[in-house]
Amino acid sequence: MHAVVFDKPGMENLRVMDVEAPKPGPNEVLVRVKFAGVNPVDYFTINRGGRPMPHIPGAEFAA
């Protein structure tokens, strides 16, 4: 699947790349995301760190 990935903090570290699709576990489903939003938490994560890297931002999505 395609994903926006940050290897380290900073907008200059943005890459669009192919990553392995997650595998759903018991009682889980896998949905195909059509649109994803970036919120202020993602902005601070991207610019200041605070999350393990690499990081795929975008918690709000429509499937």
pLDDT for the residue numbered 41: 79
pLDDT digits (tens, 9 = 90+) for 45-61: 777 767 778 888 877 88
pLDDT digits (tens, 9 = 90+) for 12-47: 888 999 999 999 999 999 998 888 887 887 777 777
Task: Give 1-63 as a DSSP string.
Answer: -EEEEESSSSGGGEEEEE-PPP---TT------SEEE--HHHHHHHHH--S-SSB----EEE-
Domain ranges for the chain, please list them.
2-62
pLDDT for the residue numbered 59: 75
pLDDT for the residue numbered 13: 83
pLDDT for the residue numbered 35: 86
